[in-house]
Amino acid sequence: MIPEEILRSLVTQTDSKLVMVVMDGIGGLPVRGKTELEAATIPNLDRLASKSICGLVDPISYGITPGSGPSHLALFGYDPISYGIGRGVMEALGIGLKLTKDDLTARGNFATIDEKGIIIDRRAGRISTEKSQETCQFLQQEIKEVEGAQVSIYPGKEHRFVIVFRAEELQDDLTDADPQKEGLKAKGTESLTQKAQRTAEIVNGYLKRVNEILRPFHPANTMLLRGFSKVPNIPSMSERFKLRPAAIATYPMYLGLARLVGMEVLKTGETLRDEVETLKDHFSEYDFFYIHFKKTDSAGEDGDFQKKVKAIEEIDRIFPSILKLKPNVLVVTGDHSTPAVLKAHSWHPNPILLHAAYTRADGIRRFTERQCQKGQLGRFPAKEVIPLMLANGLKLKKFGA
Amino acid sequence: MIPEEILRSLVTQTDSKLVMVVMDGIGGLPVRGKTELEAATIPNLDRLASKSICGLVDPISYGITPGSGPSHLALFGYDPISYGIGRGVMEALGIGLKLTKDDLTARGNFATIDEKGIIIDRRAGRISTEKSQETCQFLQQEIKEVEGAQVSIYPGKEHRFVIVFRAEELQDDLTDADPQKEGLKAKGTESLTQKAQRTAEIVNGYLKRVNEILRPFHPANTMLLRGFSKVPNIPSMSERFKLRPAAIATYPMYLGLARLVGMEVLKTGETLRDEVETLKDHFSEYDFFYIHFKKTDSAGEDGDFQKKVKAIEEIDRIFPSILKLKPNVLVVTGDHSTPAVLKAHSWHPNPILLHAAYTRADGIRRFTERQCQKGQLGRFPAKEVIPLMLANGLKLKKFGA
């Protein structure tokens, strides 16, 4: 990728409309010789691929399995290595929190310690979600503030929660307050810089009070915190690419990621049709749209090959409505692979197609991993997708004389 | 690309001859399904491609449309991001000036200001080339020197000209003396570094006198200067690659670029045949030849698809004479695409073929963008071409033990 500041100097605002369709976890692996895409009946995507340029896209680089944070940042045109998003922030985005620059977040576990403070269960016996909610509520009532910092605690599933400290000048150069192993003593956080010392004192002050309060509530008699992080300072897509970007997704985490790069979040419904209706309703108002379809990833994570095939086929049926809007540049790809056989994100590259006026179509007949590999886009890193879309939307000036 | 200093340590001098044929702006886009190359009848290039390894080459990176400066530097084996060439220098090369390290160049426009100094026409009503020549001549007579710096002014087409300040220690860390917009006040240059302050004073001193002299000559009653630049400090191809390189081209800009990287410029005629004759005449004297064919780009810039097809066919006919010389390594490619449908440089990758003894020929039957894409070279950045040519000329030692 051309250096950020050079790209920025080349961008020019035009009226052309760019649409990026992300089928979460689309890339797969063969079962009886065929990947999920190869097994699916997807006439609309196949036809679109035949009129597009195609390729294989690596979210980060060869062999690297990405989380949703870096894989999306890359698709949004940000170097996923330079722009890190901490674990705490990702968890907060996942439950739909709107973070400010004064917020320090962490991912938390309720856990069990013995009388010597040794961790004997890092998950407090996987207490029920209800029990965890109660505990969070109780803690929230007992401790609203510590040394000038507001504290908010948000329950997740089972023993998990998210914590947010809010105060000016909080720092996230902190070690995990979690030895990550049972049989070790629970510990506070340590500041990694001089500047973060006050923040460490606040967090440790909070933990001290929590331990006093939770002492009687075995098995959830302590908490472990990790992934201390603040919202990274990311220049917006409008600053970097002169785009007015909007996001259409149903899961909070993806909307949160979109907000991090300055996208407008559009209210939408639960179904794919709803998402496409939202695109249609707002098509005149923005010039970049990110539409996220989650079902493919969920089916992959479930290890349900057939369910993923069905999800792909369902998504295929909505493409005619997207094409009717005549976007100048349409990209269809995934953020990462989630092969059903692995039941998890993986390192495999994703197929990509780019449909626009000024291309030499590959004439590929199927939108699959192995067919797209034959296309002119070759195999390339995801962070190049936005420069390509901008170029195809005639939004980039010439570099050099 | 392997780091410059490592590559340098691997290069060894041999007698093998490398020839790089650059068909300017060769890459195209389809009209009625076929690109210019696909529509052309090019039996010689097709036969050559079938015995070569092929690929698609990106001048800079995905989506980036290059000017001729960066695209050529990349083909010459220089990272086009690290080695920038300023606008003023490119313009000076374009009119055939031989620059020294003491020269500070800028691109200039004659323009019109009102009595308050507000720019009302950035192009002085596009005054005729003759008028501009007269004005330049007049200014040259009036001001030959300012604060110890020699000043030379060279007319271009219409309102355009190139200016060269010559003195020791001039710097090019200067802002444009051009607000780039009408309705704003004309302004001087500002130094961006302490070191450039004296240079700014020289330029502004010159502009002050120019404004006094031109005052009566409405519409060309001021000048705007931009792209202040000096010849970049580029190590020569002979230093970096142990080559004795020579350039054969008909346009001054390409010869100027070749000179920047230390190529010998060979005198040649106006036709393709002349260029190939020159190659033949000097074949024993050098071991790297850059031959530039301009016609393909000019036809593309004109938006004349058929003319570009004809230009390609004309170039095709000279290949037997080149092959008769039996170069050890022959590369045929373009510096950038200039699709007739866009009438401009574009971001599309170019086809490339590399013909040499030690290759696994792809067996591709046509030298076109879409066929070359199927070749073993894959899609790769232009700066990798020289390392590939050196390797195929057995001019690179083993890296590491």
Question: Per residue, what are the HEC states of B198-215?
Answer: HHHHHHHHHHHHHHHHHC
- Does B38 map to a domain? yes
- How distant is the alpha carbon of residue B87 from its chain centre? 11
Q: Are A122 and A111 in contact (CB under 8 A)?
A: yes
State the pLDDT at residue A37: 98
Q: B197 and B332, same structural domain?
A: no
Domain identity same for A112 and A211: yes
The four Cα atoms B128, B131, B133, B136 give a dihedral, to 10 degrees, of -120
Nearest to A369 by CA among A354, A383, A352: A352
Q: Do B279 and B245 meet the contact criterion of CB atoms below 8 Å apart? A: no
Judge whether B401 lies within some domain.
Answer: no
Tally C-beta pairs within 8 A across A and B: 96
Q: With an 8 Å Cβ cutoff, is B90 touching chain A?
A: yes
Q: Do B347 and A1 touch (CB under 8 A)?
A: no
Asked which of B229, B251, B271 is the last residue of a domain, the reply is B229
- Residue B342 has its nearest CB partner, among A6, A358, A387, at A358
Q: Which residues pair with A288 in a beta bridge?
A: A18, A245
Kindly list the residues from chain A whose CB atom is less than 8 angstroms away from the CB atom of residue B160: none
| B341 inside 8 A of chain A by CB | yes
Measured between alpha carbons, how far is A353 from A348 in angstroms, rounded to an integer? 16
User: Do A26 and A138 share a domain, yes or no?
Assistant: no
Q: Which runs of E-coded beta strand occur in B158-206? A: 160-166
* Backbone dihedral angles phi then psi of residue B207, each to the nearest 5 degrees: -60, -40
Structure confidence at residue A401 as a pLDDT band (50, 70, 90):
confident
| Cβ within 8 Å, pair B64-A387 | yes
CATH number of B381's domain: 3.40.720.10
Give the type of residue at A175: T
Q: Could you say which DSSP state residue A355 is in?
A: E
Domain count for chain B, please give it: 2
| CB-CB neighbors (< 8 A) of B56 in chain A | 376, 378
Task: Compute the distance between CA of residue A388 and CA of residue B14 in angstroms, rounded to an integer.
Answer: 40
Token digits of residue B334: 């373009």
Q: In the prediction, which pLDDT does A354 show? A: 98
CA distance B31 to chain A (A): 10
Task: Please say whether the dihedral angle defined by the alpha carbons of residues B212, B214, B218 and B221, taken in this order, is positive or negative.
Answer: negative
**Nearest residue in B to A381, CA atom:** B62
Instruction: Tell which of A179, A201, A229 closes a domain.
Output: A229
Amino acid at B57: V
Contacts of B90 in chain A (CB under 8 A): 400-401
Contacts of B32 (CB under 8 A, 6+ apart): none
Which residues 95-154 of B are in CB contact (within 8 Å) with A? none
Cβ within 8 Å, pair A387-B63: yes
CB within 8 Å: B63 and A378: no
Is B400 within the bounds of a domain?
A: no
Same domain, residue pair A287 and A201: no
Same domain, B252 and B206: no
Provide the 10 A C-beta neighbour count for residue A137.
Answer: 12
pLDDT at A118 over 90: yes
Give per-residue burial for B229-264: e unless 16+ CB within 10 Å, then b.
bbbbebeebbebbbbbbbbbbbbebbbbbbbbbbbb
Identify whether residues A109 and A70 lie together within a single domain.
no
pTM of the model: 0.92
**Residue from B50, B79, B19, B401 nearest B234 by CA:** B79
The model's pLDDT over A358-391, given as tens digits with 9 standing for 90+, comes to: 999 999 999 999 999 999 999 999 999 999 999 9
Same domain, A21 and A111: no
What is this model's ipTM? 0.90
Cα separation, A387 vs B62, whole angstroms? 7
Provide the mean pLDDT of chain A: 96
Whole-number pLDDT of residue A1: 87
Q: Residue A368 in contact with residue A351, Cβ under 8 Å?
A: yes
Query: In b/e form, how buried is each residue of A20-35, taking b as 16+ CB within 10 angstroms?
Result: bbbbbbbbbbebeebb
| Residue B70 parent element (H or E) | helix B68-75
Option in B61, B85, B370 nearest A400 (CB): B85
Separation of alpha carbons A46 and A41, rounded Å: 9
Of A159, A168, A164, the C-alpha closest to A119 is A159
B399 within a domain of the structure (yes/no):
no
Of B347, B369, B370, the CB nearest to A391: B347
- Crossing angle for the helix pair B43-50 and B305-316, to the nearest 10 degrees: 60
The pLDDT of A99-125, averaged and rounded, is 95
**What are the backbone dihedrals phi and psi of residue B73, each rounded to the nearest 5 degrees, phi first?**
-55, -40
Q: Which helix (H) or strand (E) holds A230?
A: none
What string of DSSP letters covers B6-40? Answer: HHHHHB---S--EEEEEETTBB---BTTB-HHHHS
Contact B17, B283 (CB under 8 A): yes
Pairing of strands A53-58, A149-155: unpaired
Distance from CA of B256 to the nearest CA of A (A): 13
Q: Are residues B173 and B37 in the same domain?
A: no
List CB contacts (< 8 A) between A2 and chain B.
Answer: 60-61, 64, 81
Strands (E), A84-157: 103-113, 119-121, 145-146, 149-155
**Nearest in space to A379 (alpha carbons), one of A401, A356, A357, A347:** A347
Instruction: Count CB-CB contacts under 10 A for residue A324.
Output: 10
Q: Closest approach of chain A CAs to the CA of B192, in angstroms? A: 17
Instruction: Let me know whether A117 and A39 are in one domain.
Output: no
Closest chain A residue to B94 measured between Cα atoms? Answer: A401
Which of B230, B169, B231, B228 minimizes the C-alpha distance to B204?
B228
Last residue of a domain, one of A169, A198, A229: A229
**Which run of H or E residues covers position A207?**
helix A197-214
| A116-124: average pLDDT | 94
Residues B267-285: b if buried by 16+ CB within 10 A, e if exposed: ebeeebeebbbbbeebbee
Facing B90 at nearest CB: one of A361, A374, A401: A401
Chain B interface includes A53 (CB < 8 A): no
B94 to chain A, minimum CA–CA distance in Å?
10
Q: Decide if B212 is inside a domain.
A: yes
Q: For A315-371, write each residue's pLDDT tens digit.
A: 999 999 999 999 999 999 999 999 999 999 999 999 999 999 999 999 999 999 999
pLDDT at B159: 93
Virtual torsion, Cα B344, B345, B346, B352, nearest 10 deg? 130
A359 and B29: CB-CB below 8 Å? yes
The alpha carbon of residue A326 is apart from the nearest alpha carbon of chain B, in Å, by 20
The pair of structure tokens assigned to B383 is: 């700066």
Task: Please report where in the chains the tokens 């059903």 appear, as a residue.
Answer: A340
Helix axes A68-75, A385-392, angle to 10 degrees: 30
Range of the domain at B206: 90-229
Rg of chain B on CA atoms, in Å: 23
Q: Say if the Cβ atoms of B369 and A378 lie within 8 Å.
A: no
Q: Are residues B277 and B177 in the same domain?
A: no
B333 token code pair: 């490619």
Q: What's the confidence (pLDDT) of residue B1?
A: 86
Q: Do A396 and B341 touch (CB under 8 A)?
A: no
One domain, residues A80 and A104: no
Candidate from A2, A362, A376 with C-beta closest to B81: A2
Closest Cβ opposite residue B67 in set A6, A360, A401: A401
- Compute the nearest-CA separation of B71 from chain A (Å): 9
Q: Which residue has the tokens 């690109």?
A: B35
Q: What is the average per-residue pLDDT within A7-12?
A: 97
Averages of pLDDT over runs of 10 residues in chain B (401 residues) are 94 97 98 98 98 98 96 97 92 91 96 94 93 95 96 94 97 94 93 96 97 94 96 95 97 93 95 97 98 96 97 98 98 98 98 97 96 96 98 97 89
Radius of gyration from C-alpha coordinates of chain A? 23
Quick check: is B142 in a domain?
yes
Considering only residues 365 to 384 of chain A, which have any Cβ-Cβ distance to chain B shorter than 8 Å? 374-380, 384
Is the residue at B261 inside a domain? yes
In a domain, B296, yes or no: yes
Q: How would you classify the pairing of strands B378-381 and B53-58?
A: parallel
User: Residue B199 to residues B93, B98, B107, B170, B292: CA-CA distances in angstroms?
Assistant: 22, 21, 16, 6, 36
> Which helix (H) or strand (E) element contains residue B265?
strand B264-265
Q: Residue B136: left if φ>0, alpha if ψ -120 to 50, beta else—which one?
A: alpha
Q: Does one domain contain both A255 and A177? A: no
Three-state DSSP state, B171: coil
| DSSP letters spanning B309-366 | HHHHHHHHTTHHHHHHT--SEEEEE-SSB--TTTTS-BSPPEEEEEEESS--------
- The rounded Cα A274 to chain-centroid distance in angstroms is 21
* Chain B residues with beta carbon closer than 8 angstroms to that of A391: 62-65, 346-347
Distance to chain B for A385, nearest Cα, Å: 8
The torsion defined by the Cα of A340, A342, A345 and A351, in degrees rounded to 10, comes to: -60
Structure letter (DSSP) for residue A382? G
Q: Rounded CA gap, A383 and A385, in Å?
A: 6
Contact B379, A374 (CB under 8 A): no
Over residues A243-261, the mean pLDDT reads 95
